[in-house]
Amino acid sequence: MTDTLEIKITKTNKSRLEETDFSHLPFGKIFSDHMFIADYEDGEWKNFQIVPYGDIPLSPAISVLHYGQAFFEGLKAYKHENGKISIFRPYKNAERFNKSAIRLCAPELPEDIFVQSIAALVDLDKDWIPSAPDHSLYIRPYMFSTDPYLGVQPSKTYKYIILTCPVGAYFSKPLKVKIETTWSRSSEGGFGFAKAAGNYAGSLLPAQEAMKEGFDQLIWTDAREHAYIEELGAANVMFMIDGVLVTPSTRDTILKGVTRDSILTLARSRGVPVEERRVSIAEVIESLKNGKLTEAFGVGTAATITPIASIGFEGELHHLPDTSKAEFSNRALKALNEIRYGLVPDEFNWNYLVG
């Protein structure tokens, strides 16, 4: 455990709380009053500060704009009925943040600095956490390289910034998804397991083309054969097949989701059979046709648990049973929410209390 961070705090002169419509919160477009900033220079993290949310000056030559050393995390803070504030599993996100840093040749951030910086910012802007059901404060920590140098090599300087956004649901309805077998999100030996900005940049065009066909999201497949399911565009993916919760096993092409881990933990603790393994397209389509696949859903920080209503493959649309009657995913969502909002004892010690 590191010592308590010394953070210089400069508060905004005028809060934007009163002008914010909390009944209308488009995801990721409304930001709270403050942000956290730190610098990596001379081999150490320094200049820890919380400042009013706003623009920052940057050189047009910074290496991130040319060579893409940028990555991020996503997690949430929740307001409990008793007024307490909790951040959900921040040390799990800290662990993944550093795996991204290592893969992208960026400096690791001590886990306690990651968690304490988030907690300090959330505590200062706790009035921005919505009280409505299924609402939360989305937290976006990210790091990027800042050397003003046009050379292909790891930067020696970096910025670490945290933004927060009050949010409601990421998806407003069950999803219509398409199994993608032409484009690839990631490949073996790459960095698909990292939350690198470049992974998302490469996914934009395929997702845009799928939306033109009427789909909400893609289900990505392996780059080698396009025969195995990997993940959704904005979440990991799970299937209930013949009473077993099945999800692709994580590898260097698949993001190791925190919500994914939480749902698997909940399932195992409730006696639900779980299989983490390679999942073929053929198995999914055959299970849809013979009625063994009863539920499919995305799991992620933004998506939480989002049901899939239909799956498109090779020009044919396969419909799943009524998602409102999905037994496991609805039960898992209820259990997860009860923990995150402090409605039941936190049996897994997932909530990090603030203040």
Q: Which of 290, 169, 268, 277 is nearest to 229 (CA)?
A: 277
What's the Cα-to-Cα distance from 151 to each of 62, 64, 143, 148, 178, rounded to whole Å?
A: 10, 11, 19, 9, 39
Is pLDDT at 234 greater than 90 in this prediction?
Answer: no
pLDDT digits (tens, 9 = 90+) for 177-195: 999 999 999 999 999 999 9
CATH superfamily of 175-340: D-amino Acid Aminotransferase, subunit A, domain 2 (3.20.10.10)
* 70, 144 Cβ separation under 8 angstroms: yes
Q: What is the pLDDT of residues 210-225, one digit of tens each?
A: 999 999 999 999 999 9
Let me know the angle formed at the C-alpha of 116 by 57 and 355, rounded to the nearest 5 degrees: 115
Domains of the chain, by residue range, sit at: 8-168, 175-340
Q: Is the pTM of this model over 0.85?
A: yes
Give phi and psi for 257, each to the nearest 5: -70, 145
CA-nearest of 160, 159, 133 to 146 is 159
Burial of residue 177, with CB atoms counted within 10 A of its CB: 0-12 exposed, 13-18 middle, 19 or more buried? buried
Cite the beta strand spans of 3-119 per DSSP E. 8-9, 34-41, 44-52, 70-72, 75-79, 85-88
Instruction: Determine the pLDDT at residue 1.
Output: 45
Three-state SS at 323? helix
* CATH number corresponding to 8-168: 3.30.470.10
Q: What residues are paired with 221 via a beta bridge?
A: 229
